[in-house]
Amino acid sequence: MKRLKEASLITAVKTPYTDQGEVCLKTYDFLIEQQIAAGVDGIIVGGTTGEGHLLSWEEHLMLIAHCVNNFSDKLVIIGNTGSNNTREAIKATENGFAIGMDAALQINPYYGRTSDKGVSEHFKRVLDIGPAYIYNVPSRTGQDITPDIIEPLASHENFIGVKECAGNDRIAYYEAKGIACWSGNDDESYVARHTHGSHGVISVTSNIIPGLMRQLMDKEPKGSTLAETAKLNEDLQNLMSWLFCEPNPIAINTALMMTNAVPKIFRLPYQALTLAQRQEGFEYLNAISLNDLVGDSVAVLDDSDFNYCI
C-alpha cells in the first residue's frame, strides 16, 4: 500500500495497434520503456486512454499479464478492471489480481446508472478483492462520486485513494481529511500537487512528455527550481488543452502518431484530429525539445497517413 500511495506520476498508457488491428506489443513495450526512462512511477493498463472500452477482456487481461511479467519490477501495474456491471467488474478484478497486478482502477457504474447506495455497494464488492483506486469522472459517467460516498469507503483496508476529476477544491478537501487523491486533470495537476497537497496525477499528457510531467510532480525537481517548474506548467497549458480538444484519447493518439512514436492506426470509432487541429498541435509539439518528446520527429501528417481498423 505504501508503494501505491507514493506513486506521484502514473501514466494512463496508450494501446497501439498493428496494421491488422491487433494490439502491437512491440510498440507498447517501447512506450512503457519511455515511461520508465523518464521516472514514471506506474501505469494504468487499459484505461480510457488505453482504450480499455475498445478491448476485449481477453486483450485487456493479456496486457495486464504482459506488463506484470515484463515491467512489475520497475512500475506499479494498475489494471483498469472496473465496469458498470458489478458482476463483470468482480470477475475482471479477480482475474487481474490472479495474474499479478498491483492494484485496480475502479469506476462507478455508468450509463445504466444506479443510486448512491448502489454505487457504495458496487465499490465495497470490488474493494474486498484487492487494493484499488476509485475513479471519479462525472463528465464520462454522468454521476459524481461525492464525499458522502467516498468517506465511508476510505476506511476499507484496500482503499488506496481517488483519481479525482471534479477539481482542486475537492482534492484539497479530501487531502485535508487524510484521503489520498490523484488529479485526473492534467492542466490542474501542478496546482493540485503543490498548492492543494495531492498525491500526484494519473496523466494522459505524460504519454508524450513523461519527463516534463515528472518535473511538474516532483516536490523537489531535479535541476530546476519550483519557480521554473511553475513556468513550465504555464508553458504546457496550451498543449494540455489541445490534448483534450476532442474526447480523450483522440488527441493523444494523433499526437503520438505525429511524433512517429506509434503506428498511424486508429481502432474505430476513433478518428484522427482534423488537419486544422493537427496544425495547431504541431505548433505546441514543435515548441518542445525533441529530447522531451516520445517519438523521433514532429509532422502534421496528411489525412491519408491514417488508417482505421475495428
Tell me the pLDDT tens digit for each residue of 132-182.
999 999 999 999 999 999 999 999 999 999 999 999 999 999 999 999 999
pLDDT band at 1 (very low <50, low <70, confident <90, very high): confident
Backbone angles phi, psi at 67, to 5 degrees: -70, -40
For 185-198, b where at least 16 C-beta lie within 10 A, e where not — what string? bbbbbbbbbbebeb
- What is the extent of the structural domain holding 169? 2-309
Q: Give the H/E segment covering residue 170.
A: helix 168-176
Q: Taking residues 198-214, what's their average pLDDT?
A: 98
Per-chain mean pLDDT for the chain: 97
163 annotated active-site:
yes
Q: Residue 226 has what pLDDT?
A: 82
Does residue 221 carry a pLDDT above 80? no
Which residues are within 8 A (CB) of 86 and not within 5 positions of it... i.e. 6 or more apart? 109, 121, 122, 125, 126
173 annotated active-site:
no
Catalytic residue among 28, 135, 173, 174: 135
Q: Give the H/E segment covering residue 43.
A: strand 42-45
Catalytic residue among 17, 163, 190, 264: 163
Q: How far apart are CA 113 and CA 141, in angstroms?
A: 8
Q: How far apart are CA 266 and CA 164, in angstroms?
A: 28
- Total tally of structural domains belonging to the chain: 1
Residues 80-119: pLDDT tens digits?
999 999 999 999 999 999 999 999 999 999 999 999 999 9
Residues 253-287: pLDDT tens digits?
999 999 999 999 999 999 999 999 999 999 999 99
CATH of the domain at 241: 3.20.20.70
In a 3-state reduction of DSSP, which class is residue 156? coil
